[in-house]
Structure 1
Amino acid sequence: MDDLYQRYQAGERNFSQIDLHDADLSGLDLSGADFTTANLKGANLSQTNLSQTNLNGTILQNANLSQANLSEANLSLADLGFANLTEANLTGANMQMAILFRTRFKNTTMPDGTIR
């Protein structure tokens, strides 16, 4: 994952279709990145800054997103089945048509977030 963060630090933001299943990305600042249709199944994204990130169609099954900042993120069509969103910030996030089967929402902040 060091390679991903080095690329991000160098200014790269397009990580669409990347395979990061089971990756530990906890605590990183990845705000504004594009993970469209990426595989983040089982990834540890706890306390990660994913604000204004494009996660459209991303696989996030069983991902740990506890205490993650997902404000203004695009999660439309994302698969969040069994994901943990405990204490995550979803202020202004777009979750239209996201798969939320057994997704854990506990103390999750969602003002103005959209689920349709």
Structure 2
Amino acid sequence: MKAKLIALLTLVTPLVLASSVNAANPQHVKKLLATGECAKCDLSKANLSGAHLIGADLRDANLQGANLTKANLEGADLTGANLAGANMTSTLATNVDFKKANLNKVNFTRATIHDSNVYGASMNDLNITNAEISNTGIGIGGEDAEVPDWK
């Protein structure tokens, strides 16, 4: 009996752990990559490294803990998206709408962020080491700075 239980646990444990580590909905990942549209999708902890997400509709999507290393998000709409803890190392984020997004603890190391809207976004504990940022309200300090909304 003990041998059967141990064998069962040996087989089931990796499946349980794998599903909890990778919480993204596989259908949502496929939909995003095929159509570029995935508003309100669960993409938490998804591996989107190197993905071409130009103009993607990711409004209110859950990208918490997602890997977006070297992804191209040019012109993407991430309004209200949850990107908390996402890895955006070396990501291209030009003309991205991050309005009211959760950017807490996002790793923007070596990212290129130009002309992007961060109006109302939460940006606590960002890592912007060696990031190239222009015409975007991301910086060090400036708690009283005004971040304009896109018109």
Instruction: Calculate the aligned-residue CA RMSD, in Å.
Output: 1.8
Structure-2-length-normalised TM-score = 0.70
Q: Distance in 1 between matches of 2:45 and 2:38?
A: 16
Q: Which residue of 2 aligns with 1:100?
A: 123
Please say if 1:34 is aligned against 2:57.
Answer: yes
In 1: Cα distance, 2:96 partner to 2:59 partner: 11
SS in 2 for 1:90: strand
Structure 2 counterpart of 1:110: 133
Cα distance in 2 between the residues matched to 1:36 and 1:57: 6
Which protein has the bigger helix share?
2
User: Which runs of no fewer than 5 residues in structure 1 stay unpaired?
Assistant: none
Structure (1/2) with the larger strand percentage = 2
Contact 2:28 2:42 in 1 (8 A): no
Per-residue CA deviations over 1:29-69 (Å, capped at 9, x if unaligned) read 01100100000000000000001000001000000001001
CA distance in 2, matches of 1:80, 1:92: 16
Larger radius of gyration: 2
- Whether 2:72 is the aligned partner of 1:49: answer yes
Residue 4 of structure 1 and its aligned partner are, at CA, apart by 5.4
Contact 1:71/1:93 (<8 A) preserved? yes
* Shift, 1:97, TM fit: 1.3
Q: Number of residues paired by the alignment?
A: 115
Q: TM-score, normalised by structure 1?
A: 0.90
Give the Cα–Cα distance (whole angstroms) in 2 for the partners of residues 80 and 8 of structure 1: 20
Percent identity, aligned pairs only? 30
- Give the whole-Å Cα distance in 1 for the aligned partners of 2:29 and 2:64: 18
Post-superposition CA distance 1:59-108 (Å, at most 9, x none): 00000001001100000111011110011111111111111111111111
